Chain A
Amino acid sequence: MLGKLLKYEWRGLRFPFLVMMIVLASTTVLTCSVIYTINPNYNEAIPWYSSMALMFSIFLYYFGLIGCSIGLSLIIVIRFYNTCYTDQGYLTHTLPVTTRQILHAKLIAAFVADVLMVLAIAISLFLIIQVTLHHILSFIPEFTYADLMWEISRGIGEFEEIFGIRIGLYFAYLAIYSLIGTIANIVTLFGCVSLGQLYAKHRIIGAILAYFIVQFILQVLAYFASLPMYARMLGTSYNSDFSFFGLMSPTMNLMLFFSVALAVFMYFANMHMLTKRLNLE
C-alpha cells in the first residue's frame, strides 16, 4: 500500500514541480543568453541596455531560485494540509492503510521532490558558471579554459591543507548533512501543520504560529551550537591548530543534532495528531 500511496503522492506533486522546473530552466536560459550579450573587454564600455538586461536577468534568476525552493516547500506543506486536514482528509484517513504509511508516503515523496529540486538548482548554477567562464575566457586569448581547470585542480590539492579535510570527505559530509537536514526540515514543516490543528478555530494561523515558534527555538539552539565555534576561533588567535573544518564542524554537527531531535519530536507529534487528535471539520 505504501507504493500506491507514493504513486498518488507523486502525482499530486509532479505538476507544480514541473512548472517550477520550467521556471528554473527558463530563467537559466535567459541568464545565459544575457551573459553572452555582455562584452567584458575592459577597454570597451558596456552598453546601458546590456548591463540593465544583465541586472534584470540576475534578479530574475535569483528570485526564480528562491521561488522554486520556497515554492516547493509551500506546495508540499499545502498538499499535506489539504490531504490530511481538510475535506480530502475524509478520503485519506478512510483508506485501508495505516497512518504511518500515509505519513511515510508524504515524507518520501516530499524528500524526492526536494532532492530533485536541489539537483536541478545545482545543474542550473553549474551551467551559468560554465557559460560565464567560457564567455569571459573568450576575451582573454592568453588564458584558456584548460589553464583555468589546471588552476582549480591546484586549488583542490591545497584544499585539505586549508580546510583540514579531504575534498571528497568534505563533500560526502555536506551531502549527508544536507540529506538529513532535508528530511528533518520536511518532518518539521509537517509537524507545524499538525500542531496548528490544536488551534481548532484558526488552524492555518496555528500552523504558521507553530512554524515561527519552531524557528525561534532553532535560532536559540543555533546560538548555543555556535559557542564551540566561537571558542575555537578565540583559541585560534593564540594557537592556530584549528582548520576551517575543525572550526565549523562542531557547530554544524550540533545544529544537525538539534534539527534531528526536533524532527523526531515532530514525527511523533504528527503521528499523535493524525491518530489521537484528528478532528476534521
Chain B
Amino acid sequence: MNDNNSMAYAQSDTAQNESAQSSPVQNNSIYAQSSPVQDSPSYTNMPLLQLNDLCKRYPGMGSYMSVFHMNLIIPRGRIIGLLGPNGCGKTTLIKMINGLLTPTSGSVLINGMAPCPATKKVISYLPERTYLDNGMKVSQMVSYFADFYEDFSTEKAYGMLGALGISSDARLKTLSKGTKEKVQLILVMSRQADLFILDEPIAGVDPAARDYILRTIITNYNPGSTILLSTHLISDIENILDDVIFMKNGSLMLYTSVDSIRSQMGKSVDTYFREVYAC
C-alpha cells in the first residue's frame, strides 16, 4: 500500500499537484507507517477495489486532470472516509468506480474486474443526487431494487421504511427532499453488497436525519463489506470510520487509519483535515 501511495506522489509532478506535494501531510510520519490495508487479514491477491494509475480528464478542461495518477487498494471489511475539499475529484473517482465515467487512462478493478454488470452486482451506490423516478411509489421502487439486485432484502427495506414512518404507498414526488434521500439510503443499505459507496450521504439533511442515516449505515453494515463514504462533514462521521483517504487536486494525499491520525498526531481527523486543507 505504501508503494501505491509512493507511486501516487512520485507521479504528482505537474503544476496541478504542486500544492498537494507541499502540503503538511507530506512531511508527516504517517506515510512511513503500515497502511490499514496491510493490517487487514482479508487482504488477498484479489482486493475488493484496486485503482491502477487512474487518471480522468474531462473534455474541454485542457490538460487539467480531475483524477491524477491515482493508485489505491481498498480491502474488505472497512469503513473508509473519502475526504477532501470541493472539486478535489472525489465524485469523479466514485463515478469511475461505478462505471459512470470512463477513465482517461489507468484502470479500476473491482474483485479483479473492470466495471461491468458483474461488478455492479457487488457495489451498492448512493449518489449525491436523487436518482429515483418521481412518478413511482416507494413500494414500486422497492420492487425495482428487488428485481434487479439479487442481494436486496425486501424485508429489511420495509422494516426501515416502517421504522421511519414512510408510507410505501406514497409517490416519491409527494415526499420531501430529505425523505427521498432517506428512501434512497434505505434502498441502498438494504443490499448485502461487497462495497457500499456513499457519496455525501449526510449533506443537506437536518442533524436528526443525519443521526438516523449514520445509524442506518452502522446497523446495516456487514462486517465483510466495505463502505466508502465521501463527505465534508467529518466531525459527524469520524467516529464510525476505520480509515480515511485524503484527496487533493485529484491526487491521493493520504490513506491511513483513523487510529493512526489520533495516536500519531494527537488530533481528531476533523482537526487534522482543517490543518491540511487550510486556505
| Interface residues, chain A, with chain B CB atoms under 8 Å away | 1, 4, 7-8, 12, 15, 83, 87-91, 93-98, 200, 275-280
**Separation of A92 and B129 alpha carbons in the complex (Å):** 13
List chain B residues, Cβ under 8 A from A277.
102
Interface of B is mostly: loop
Q: Do residues B101 and A279 form an inter-chain contact, with CB atoms below 8 A?
A: yes
List chain A residues, Cβ under 8 A from B59.
200
Q: Do residues A276 and B102 form an inter-chain contact, with CB atoms below 8 A?
A: yes
**Separation of A276 and B115 alpha carbons in the complex (Å):** 12
Total A-B Cβ pairs within 8 A: 62
Looking across the interface, which residue of chain A has its beta carbon closest to that of B134? Answer: A88
Looking across the interface, which residue of chain A has its beta carbon closest to that of B141? Answer: A91
List chain A residues, Cβ under 8 A from B144.
8
Q: How far is the CB of A17 from chain B (nearest CB, A)?
A: 13
Q: How far is the CB of B142 from chain A (nearest CB, A)?
A: 13
List chain A residues, Cβ under 8 A from B58.
279
**Separation of A278 and B101 alpha carbons in the complex (Å):** 6
Looking across the interface, which residue of chain B has its beta carbon closest to that of A83? Answer: B133
User: Among the listed B60, B99, B132, B135, which residue makes an inter-chain contact with A93, where contact means beta carbons less than 8 Å apart?
Assistant: B99
Which range contains the number of B residues in contact with the other chain? 20 to 34
Q: How far is the CB of A162 from chain B (nearest CB, A)?
A: 51
Q: Do residues B131 and A97 form an inter-chain contact, with CB atoms below 8 A?
A: no
Question: What would be 24 A-B contacts, judged by CB atoms less than 8 Å apart?
Answer: A1-B148, A4-B147, A8-B144, A12-B133, A15-B135, A83-B133, A87-B130, A88-B131, A88-B132, A90-B127, A90-B131, A91-B131, A91-B133, A93-B100, A96-B121, A96-B149, A97-B117, A97-B120, A98-B117, A275-B102, A276-B102, A278-B101, A278-B102, A280-B100
List chain B residues, Cβ under 8 A from A200.
59-60
Q: Do residues B149 and A94 form an inter-chain contact, with CB atoms below 8 A?
A: no
Q: How far is the CB of A58 from chain B (nearest CB, A)?
A: 34
Q: How far is the CB of B152 from chain A (nearest CB, A)?
A: 11
List chain B residues, Cβ under 8 A from A88.
131-133
List chain B residues, Cβ under 8 A from A83.
133
List chain A residues, Cβ under 8 A from B129.
87, 90
List chain B residues, Cβ under 8 A from A98.
116-117
List chain A residues, Cβ under 8 A from B117.
1, 96-98
Tell me if B125 is interfacial: C-beta within 8 Å of chain A.
yes
Looking across the interface, which residue of chain A has its beta carbon closest to that of B150? Answer: A96
Given known contacts A87-B130, A90-B131, A98-B117, what 12 new A-B pairs fall within 8 Å (CB)?
Answer: A1-B148, A7-B147, A83-B133, A88-B133, A91-B131, A91-B132, A91-B133, A93-B100, A94-B98, A94-B123, A96-B118, A276-B102
**Separation of A277 and B59 alpha carbons in the complex (Å):** 10
Q: Do residues B100 and A90 form an inter-chain contact, with CB atoms below 8 A?
A: yes
Q: How far is the CB of B260 from chain A (nearest CB, A)?
A: 32
Contact flags (1/0) for B23-66 with A, using CB distance below 8 Å? 00000000000000000000000000000000000111000000
| B163-197 interface (Cβ within 8 A of A) | none
Chain A CB within 10 A, most for which of B58, B59, B133, B144 = B133
A96-B120, A96-B149, A200-B60 given as contacts; is B133 within 8 A of A280 (CB)? no
Q: How far is the CB of A265 from chain B (nearest CB, A)?
A: 21
A87-B130, A90-B129, A91-B131 given as contacts; is B120 within 8 A of A280 (CB)? no
Tell me if B95 is interfacial: C-beta within 8 Å of chain A.
yes
**Separation of A12 and B101 alpha carbons in the complex (Å):** 26
Looking across the interface, which residue of chain A has its beta carbon closest to that of B92? Answer: A279
Looking across the interface, which residue of chain B has its beta carbon closest to that of A93? Answer: B100
| B227-258 interface (Cβ within 8 A of A) | none
A4-B148, A200-B60 given as contacts; is B130 within 8 A of A94 (CB)? no
Q: How far is the CB of B146 from chain A (nearest CB, A)?
A: 10
